[in-house]
Structure 1
Amino acid sequence: MIVLAHVSDIHIDSEERSVARATQVFDYLNGLPGPLDAILVTGDLADHGLAEEYEKVAKLFSNSPTLLHCPGNHDSRGPYREVLLGEATAETPINQVHRVSGAVFAMCDSSIPGRPDGYLADETLTWLESVLVDAGDAPVFVCFHHPPVALHAHFIDSIRQTGEDRLAALISRYPNVVGILCGHAHTGAATTFAGLPLLVAPGVVSTVMLPCETEEIADLDLPPSIAFHVLDDDRRLTTHYRVVSPRL
């Protein structure tokens, strides 16, 4: 069995609020009495893509031993690479693969520099196929920031990932893919994509509301939320969503 914590959209900026909310989440996760195989953060780590924001992100991540992340539309590839990965500045997609507890995590870059919507570049899809081939029989999680389907939250749907037919055609050829994990929506959601579970992490910095709930796009006062994903020995994927409220 593999147990994952899934966090997204911490949007660290110069204000204390974003840091406090993210710290609340990571303190909760790092204080759990039971083990986690990994913590995944699916994008929008920084709010403006600044080096000083990534310095704060690095500090937040420093106490979590197995932490995997990918960029979102608010991130900037150059500072992201320099501060979080210790790499030279480059504008090519930031794609990373990790093996954790017998599973493979393909952390894909769905960002388009300078734009809020998402797209998996051809080079990212080529890279992803090589990951799927190399994984053999191991279960694979495909992870990125932008949802590749409409979630019926109007603002988010207008800036979702496009070109998704290419991704669907690719992963449909590899039965070892067990789920797709993403963020961007600032609301916990569960649906399907290419016949597989598509699981969206809630937002840490804010919660996007549905049209039936309010005319406002987002609620800044609701507490941050996260997801726990459990992959059992039969490769059945179960998700639990949690609100992380301050401890009294």
Structure 2
Amino acid sequence: MKIIQVTDLHLVTPGETLCGLDPLARLQACIADINQNHPDAELVIFSGDLSETGSEVTYRALAEELTHLVPPFRLMLGNHDNRLAFRHVFETANREDGFIHSVEDLAEGRLIMLDTLLPGRPEGRLDEARLRWLQKRLEEAKDRAVFLFSHHPPFPIHMPLLDRMGIIEADALYVLLKQHGNVRHIFAGHAHRPIAGSWRGIPVSVLRGTNHQSALDFSPDKIAVTHEPPAYAVIFIDRDSVIVHFHDFLDRSAAYR
């Protein structure tokens, strides 16, 4: 099973730039690269911060670009997003509670995509309503493998400023995941860094966004923006393994032969 993860598009009004870069052009290049190299992907998951401003015009630009994407896709929200503006364009929300979270059942297990948006704040939130929703989805999965997608990492990455912007209810989240007992991986965005490891025994990964990145800086009170290469993740899942490749899709250097 092949899944593509794309994160942190940070779209602005078409024609404008962010951090000296064109987020829309970066997204177009990302989609073109996926179409060329991974049209067979079962799903492309965009894991939040689709927009920098949360404006409808950015979501309409996204909707237009997604018409060119070959594989099916799912959209998630991050702290820069706006649920109301997003729904005006994509008309999608969970009927149960209004959040933009979803489930996809595939051959190797259940993919759960969380809505961790806390409007007006950089931190992620999983309040009681969202935790109840997650508990139900985990119970439905029974003993099937679960793969969790969250914009905000619930785990520390040891970059202090970014760690203060994680999921507030990380401990409560872990209790649910531990109860299920078969959560094989957590995929996150938000940090704009390529990161891999484990959190309380659960494998985790984070990747760069499609526009600007965060500097690898462990200072306690700052984070700098960089122009490190944008990337998406190519994820292979089978019964025995979860393998995550980070692909710098703008790299046009020739392969050495």
Q: What's 1:146 paired with?
A: 152
1:19-168 correspondence to structure 2 within 5 Å: 19-32=24-37, 35-64=40-69, 65-86=71-92, 92-168=98-174
Paired residue secondary structure (1:111): coil
Q: Is the 8 A contact 2:101 2:113 kept in 1?
A: yes
The RMSD of aligned alpha carbons is 2.4
Q: Is the 8 A contact 1:12 1:47 kept in 2?
A: yes
Paired residue secondary structure (1:119): coil
Whichever residue aligns with residue 153 of structure 1, its letter is M
Once the two structures are TM-superposed, the CA of residue 63 in structure 1 deviates from its matched residue by 2.8
Q: What's 1:10 paired with?
A: 9
Q: Is the 8 A contact 1:24 1:246 kept in 2?
A: no
Larger strand proportion, structure 1 or 2? 1
Of 201, 225, 239, the residue aligned with 1:218 is: 225
CA distance in 1, matches of 2:216, 2:243: 24
Cα deviation 1:109-168 (Å, max 9, x = unaligned): 111011111121111111111111112343221111111122122332221222210001
The alignment-based identity, stated in percent, is: 28
Q: Name the count of aligned residue pairs.
A: 244
CA 1:33–1:168 in structure 2 vs 1: closer, same or farther (change >3 Å)? closer
Whichever residue aligns with residue 5 of structure 1, its letter is I
Q: Is the 8 A contact 2:159 2:218 kept in 1?
A: no
Residues 1:186 and 2:192 are matched in the alignment: yes
CA distance in 2, matches of 1:203, 1:13: 14
Range with greater deviation from structure 2 (100-109 or 184-193): 100-109
Once the two structures are TM-superposed, the CA of residue 196 in structure 1 deviates from its matched residue by 0.9
Q: What's 2:248 paired with?
A: 243
CA 1:109–1:216 in structure 2 vs 1: closer, same or farther (change >3 Å)? closer
Paired residue secondary structure (1:6): strand
CA distance in 2, matches of 1:212, 1:72: 23
Gaps of 5+ in 1: none
Q: Is the 8 A contact 2:193 2:213 kept in 1?
A: yes
Once the two structures are TM-superposed, the CA of residue 107 in structure 1 deviates from its matched residue by 1.1
Residues 1:201 and 2:207 are matched in the alignment: yes
TM-score (norm 2): 0.86
Gaps of 5+ in 2: none
CA distance in 1, matches of 2:91, 2:200: 31
Once the two structures are TM-superposed, the CA of residue 10 in structure 1 deviates from its matched residue by 0.4
Q: What's 1:231 paired with?
A: 237
Cα deviation 1:69-107 (Å, max 9, x = unaligned): 21000000111122123569xx94322122234532211
